[in-house]
Amino acid sequence: MNAPTKDSGLAWVGRAIRRVEDPALLAGHGRFTADLPAALRVRFVRSPVAAGRIERIAIPEGANVVTAADLAALKPIMPALHKFGYVPIAQPVLASGCVRFVGEPIAAAVAASEAQAEDIADAVSVDIAASAAVIDAGAALADGAPLVHAQAAGNLVVEGKVETAGFAAAQGAAHRLIAIELRSRRQNATPLEARAGHAAFDPVSGRVTLTCATQMPHLLRTAIADLIGMPEGELRVVAPDVGGGFGQKMSLVPEYVVLVWLARKLKSSVAWTEDRRENLIASFHSRDQSVRLQGAFAADAKLLALSAEVVANVGAYSCYPTTCAVEPLMAMAELPGPYDVRAYACVARGVLTNTCPMAPYRGVSRPVITTALERLMDAAAAEFGMEPVEIRRRNLIEKFPYTSVTGLIFDAGSYQQTLEIAAAAIDVPAFRRRQQQARSQRRYLGIGFAAFSERTGYGTPAFAARGMGVTLGWETVELAMDPSGWVEVRIGASPHGQGLRTTIAQLVADELGLAPDRIKVVHGDTDRTPYGWGTFASRSLVIAGGASVLAARKVRAKLKKIASHLMEAAADDIVLTDGVARVAGTDRALPIETLARAAYHQVHLFKGEIDPAICETATYDPPGTFSNACHACIVEVDPETGRVTIARFVVAEDAGRLVNPMIVDGQIVGGVAQGIGNALLEEIVYDEGGNILTATLADFLPPTSREMPPIELLHLETLDGTTITQAKGLGEGGAIGAPAAVLNAINDALAPFGVTIEEMPATPRRIRAALRQATKKPR
Amino acid sequence: MSERSDITLTINGRAHAIRVEPRRTLVDAIREDCGQTGTHIGCEHGVCGACTVLVDGEPVRSCLTLAVQAAGREIRTVEGLANGDELNPLQRAFMEHHGLQCGFCTPGFLMLVTGVLEREPDISDDDLVDVLSSNLCRCTGYQNIVKAVRAAAAQMRR
């Protein structure tokens, strides 16, 4: 069922064909938002303080500056969630009355050039009566802490609780109780293209086109039209080439609302290009979570019961559409991971602070909970005196479908097998010998594993269970063949680097018997594509790809019917292959373009039995599927400097059918790089007053080529028919597993010193601080 | 802000007569005054390298260079690499080895590597990784960029 990569038996699916996206991007012909000319440029005036009341905004004479007073008719951003006591939080598009984080937009300066707009913004003077701010989640939860929003008592915006029946008894029966506390510090997703928006008014139609760096054009259209109170038909949203997103571009951006409002008011084109400092300070942040786990283990190291306490610092506002509850609640639902545990208790809190709002970032909570759970497994393995591989072997799920303790249904996967092949590839016994030898030379090597699941490609059932105001999930695809026999696939997903134009063309090519270069995938334009939810949550290939296949099958059926009329054969005997419709077992054949032309120009031949034209629509709304993987890595820690060097990194991954193995590998390696950044390097640091100390890329450190080890990739393909294409999502797995593998390896390396690191990033400073506490002298 | 200067920027062999403020950065001049938007802006403080162009053959951060500094010098950008529709060996290697995903950082990497390989065609693999570490890519994890550049370097040496 899951032998390593095998022949799909299909002409195009499974082949590492080169991406159709590449030639334009390589030639410098990419079209990114900031490339568009605009009559007017905007610079936002942002709050320099974390909390306070706006007393006065002084605008230079004659300057065009917009404030909240101008936008009084606009509704605030207020996403809904109907569960777990979620407190609705309103965010005015521009700060109104008070400010709640450093970087919050207060005013928009408009001028003919960016430089002029910056000069005006600098000249706007804002008087703010600063008040006490809370920055850290622990401080925000303390008694008497200042409230970020008056209606959220104790700064608690959501509190999820779950406890299975008989939990205490299950825990009480344990042979050993093992606890771990993990903290993952704050990050910024840091797409290389920061946010950018361009809103242009068309005097003929009265419509506005908002071109912007977004992952969700349709939902953005709905949200902005709602806030402004304009008919949605008067707004077109275009996502052109988008320079990475990783979740940061999947939420509603208040600045874009201002741009649309300005374009309508000034009847002009208005653009804003975020600079990197703004992005690091005021675009969405991520992570900043603490997880306390207690595992109750039987004498044979089987996990009997798991309890968890999750605290997520969600910042000052709640992001649309997911709400800020997405992080703590996903942590609660998915914390038991791929382990067979039947007793579970969890409290997951979302805590408001005077910091930049949080939004989903590649992995959403799972990098943190996976690291916590995998640290627990390693801590338990050490207690039981067994190898990390052995304790995982005893606890990973192996019978499918598996219904988790939180009610998630795991479709077939290869949890045990990916563990075994990763362990074999990294050769644990040989490593242990090397580790011993190295220690005798005062060199400290460590090995770390991370076994995990990646929930992907889920539709409305999963989103409905979350209780959000917007139930996301399905995708609709419109597939048209024009009279020349060329195909256009219009999708609501909105890729921005994932190569979906290539992979969807591969899927459709096999259904229609055409080469992929005859199939053009159109995305990222609300005027040209059916309503859809965009690209995030490892969903697009599964859901938009599945819908594309369904639509292609309808077109295939129609082409066969046309061919049966034209060649006087039974439709069932027609085979579409290599661009030709053939009558099976004969030499009779017609090029597909002849069928296409007939569908438009020769309809009289069909005697009313076939409708004119070729355009089919299909929707796919799947329950969801789980990819799985095991990461294994070897590090060396220099105890003198605290420096960590990753020597090897193995990924054994199962994402079902690999539509394009080259793109799959690219997604995994890219995800691992971000996970390594999470584990070792990246941290947004606030001072006590709520100022960001890491406002440049010289302070906030994404990995470079120098920090990246070679990533060794192994694939299994479990094909059990859970999804239409047999493919599972895999965009986030790299980022989910890598932090745990790296942190476990560091702790294994530090074992001789008797200290542990339970905080990410595990910077040299933190490692040195831990080593200074060491009581043991290394052997 | 202050007076504008008339300068000529020579980009990929074509002269652009423009009038700029002294504070105008080279990347803004290339993109906005000369309309060559293939060069991207990633950080505007010289770290990410997305804006890398060649000035007299040397890779420079065009966000940290003033337009007036580049007047009269030979500027090369990503738009000058291909021969019409035909990608050059380095561009083809990026495509062949999947060295790009969103493509935003790609022009900067291409120009960095072009400059380095012209100067040092026999650069060692390890030095190459060091050189590539001067630019940031958030999508690929670099592995395929390194592969692409090694392949292109090998091909160019042939």
Q: Which of B45, B79, B139 is nearest residue A244 as measured by Cβ atoms?
A: B139
On whether the CB atoms of residues A290 and A181 are closer than 8 A, the answer is yes
Q: Tell me what the pLDDT averaged over chain B comes to.
A: 96
Q: What kind of fold does domain B89-157 have according to CATH?
A: DNA polymerase; domain 1 (1.10.150)
pLDDT digits (tens, 9 = 90+) for B32-58: 999 999 999 999 999 999 999 999 999
Give the number of A-B residue pairs with CB atoms closer than 8 Å.
Answer: 171
Name the residue of chain B whose CA is nearest to A362's CA. B139
**Structure pTM?**
0.97
Does B36 contact chain A (CB < 8 Å)?
yes
Distance from CA of B104 to the nearest CA of A (A): 5
Copy the structure tokens of residue A682. Answer: 């990246």
Q: Tell which A residues from 376 to 415 touch B, by Cβ distance under 8 Å.
A: none
In the predicted structure, residue A1 carries a pLDDT above the cut 60: no
Cis omega (within 30 of 0) on the bond before A401? yes
Q: Region A99-105: what's the mean pLDDT? A: 98
What gap in Å lies between CA B82 and CA B80, rounded to an integer?
6
* Average pLDDT of the segment spanning A512-522: 97
Sign of the alpha-carbon torsion through A383, A385, A387, A392: negative
Closest partner residue to A670 (CB to CB) among B21, B41, B141 is B141
- CA-based nearest residue in chain B for residue A697: B47
Longest distance between any two alpha carbons in chain B, whole Å: 52
Fold (topology level) of A33-131+195-273? Aldehyde Oxidoreductase; domain 3 (3.90.1170)
A692 forms bridges with which residues in the sheet? A686
SS (H, E, C) A122-162: HHCEEEEEECCCCCCHHHHHCCCCCCCCCCCHHHEEEEEEE
Q: Is B87 in contact with A26 (Cβ distance < 8 A)?
A: yes
Between A35, A193, A669, which is nearest B140 by CB?
A669
- A336 contacts chain B (CB < 8 A): no
Q: Which of the residues A704, A707, A711, A730 would you substitute to probe the B interface, choosing the one with the greatest number of B C-beta atoms within 10 Å?
A: A704
Residue A41 at interface with chain B, using a CB cutoff of 8 Å: no
Give the list of residues 6+ apart from residue A602 with CB closer than 8 angstroms, or none. none
Q: Is the per-residue pLDDT at A7 higher than 70?
A: no
Question: How far B60 CA lies from chain A's nearest CA (Å)?
Answer: 17
The answer to whether the CB atoms of B101 and A244 lie below 8 A apart is: yes
Write out residues 54-73 of B within 8 Å (CB-CB) of A.
none
Interval A161-177 mean pLDDT = 97
The β-bridge relationship of strands A98-99 and A52-58 is antiparallel
Residues of chain B contacting residue A662, judged by C-beta atoms under 8 Å apart: 98
List the 117-136 stretch of B: residues with Cβ below 8 A of A: 129-130, 132-136
Q: How far is B145 from chain A (nearest CA, A)?
A: 9
- Closest alpha carbon within chain A to B20: A115
User: What architecture is the A364-456+623-772 domain classified under in CATH?
Assistant: 2-Layer Sandwich (3.30)
Q: Where do the domains of chain B lie?
A: 5-80, 89-157
**Distance between CA A249 and CA A194 in Å, rounded?**
9
C-alpha span between A77 and A190 (Å, rounded)? 23
From A424, A371, A322, A357, select the one nearest A100 (Cα to Cα).
Answer: A357
- Whether A666 sits inside 8 A of B144 (CB atoms) is yes
State the Rg of chain A over Cα.
27
- Alpha-carbon gap, residue A122 to A44, rounded angstroms: 10
State how far residue A51 is from chain B, nearest Cα, in angstroms: 27
- pLDDT band (50, 70, 90) for residue A735: very high
How high does pLDDT run on average in chain A? 97
Helix, strand, coil shares of chain A, percent, nearest 5, are 30, 25, 40
Which residues from B are below 8 Å from A666, CB to CB?
98, 101, 139-140, 144
Cβ proximity of B94 and A23 under 8 Å: no
- Yes or no, beta carbons of A711 and B143 under 8 Å apart: yes
| Whole-number Cα distances in Å, A691 to A91, A104, A133, A134 | 20, 12, 11, 12
Q: Decide if A432 contacts A388 (C-beta within 8 A).
A: no
Testing the interface with B: which of A192, A277, A535, A668 to mutate, by most B Cβ within 10 A? A192
CB contact under 8 A, A28 and B47: no
Cβ atoms of residues A58 and A124 within 8 Å: yes
CA distance A179 to A743: 16
Is the Cβ pair B48, A22 closer than 8 Å? no
**Residue B147 touches partner A, C-beta closer than 8 Å:** no
B91 in reach of chain A (CB within 8 A): yes
Note whether B5-80 and B89-157 share their fold. no
Sheet holding A64-67, edge to edge: A64-67, A105-111, A40-46, A269-273, A196-202, A207-212, A235-238
The interface predicted TM-score of the complex, written ipTM, equals: 0.98
Show residues of chain B in contact with A651, CB under 8 Å: none
| B146 reaches A (C-beta below 8 A) | yes
- Would you tell me which CATH number, out of the four given (3.30.365.10, 3.40.50.970, 3.40.50.2000, 3.40.50.920), belongs to the domain A22-29+474-620? 3.30.365.10
Q: Which residues of B touch A198 (CB under 8 A)?
A: none
Predicted confidence at residue A10, as pLDDT, reads 84
What distance in Å separates residue A125's CA from the closest CA in chain B?
A: 20
Looking at chain A, the number of H-run helices and the number of E-run strands are 19, 29
Residue A253 binned pLDDT confidence (cut-offs 50, 70, 90): very high
A121-147 residue pLDDT tens? 999 999 999 999 999 999 999 999 999
A674-689 average pLDDT score: 98
- All residues of chain A having their beta carbon less than 8 Å from the beta carbon of residue B50 are 192
DSSP 3-state of A228 = helix
Helix (H) or strand (E) holding A348: strand A343-352
Nearest residue to A498 (alpha-carbon basis) of A208, A727, A233, A163: A727
pLDDT band at B156 (very low <50, low <70, confident <90, very high): confident
Which of B45, B129, B138, B142 best probes binding to A when mutated, by most A CB atoms within 10 angstroms?
B138
* Beta strand B74-76 pairing with B5-11: parallel
Q: How far is the alpha carbon of B120 from chain A, nearest alpha carbon, in Å?
A: 19
Phi, psi (rounded to 5 degrees) for A79: -70, 155
* pLDDT confidence band for B2 (50 / 70 / 90): low
Note the maximum CA span of chain A: 90
DSSP helix/strand/coil, B10: strand
Mean pLDDT computed over A485-493:
97
- Do the Cβ atoms of A714 and A425 come closer than 8 Å? yes
pLDDT over 50 at A210, yes or no = yes
CB contact under 8 A, B48 and A276: yes
What is the chain A residue with the closest CA to B126?
A706
Half-sphere exposure of A48 (CA within 13 A, CB side): 8
To test the contact with chain A by mutation, choose from B31, B132, B143, B150 the residue with the greatest count of A C-beta atoms within 10 A, namely B143
> What is the C-alpha to C-alpha distance for residues A369 and A272, in angstroms, rounded to an integer?
36
Q: What is the CATH number of domain B5-80?
A: 3.10.20.30
Please tell me the distance in Å from A54's CA to the nearest CA on chain B: 30
Q: Where are the domains of chain A?
A: 22-29+474-620, 33-131+195-273, 364-456+623-772
pLDDT of residue A693: 97
**Burial of A144 from C-beta contacts in 10 A (0-12 / 13-18 / 19+):** exposed
Nearest one of A749, A744, A750 to A370, comparing CA atoms: A744
Angle at A748 (CA atoms; ends A742, A749), nearest 5 degrees: 90
* Contact at CB, B138 and A499, closer than 8 angstroms: no
Of the candidates A115, A704, A710, the beta carbon closest to that of B133 is on: A704
Q: Do domains A33-131+195-273 and A364-456+623-772 have the same CATH topology?
A: no
Predicted confidence band of residue A4 (pLDDT cuts 50, 70, 90): very low
The confidence score (pLDDT) of residue A8 equals: 62
Nearest Cα of chain A lies from the Cα of B158 at a distance, in angstroms, of 23
pLDDT of residue B142: 98
H, E, C per residue of A534-601: CCCCCCHHHHHHHHHHHHHHHHHHHHHHHHHHHHCCCHHHEEEECCEEEECCCCCEEEHHHHHHHHHH
B chain contacts of residue A674, beta-carbon cutoff 8 Å: 138, 141
Tens digits of residue pLDDT in A524-558: 999 999 999 999 999 999 999 999 999 999 999 99
Using a CB-CB cut-off of 8 Å, the residues of chain A touching B79 are: 27-28
Judge whether A701 is closer than 8 Å to chain B, CB to CB: no
Q: Tell if the CB–CB gap between B45 and A696 is shorter than 8 Å.
A: yes
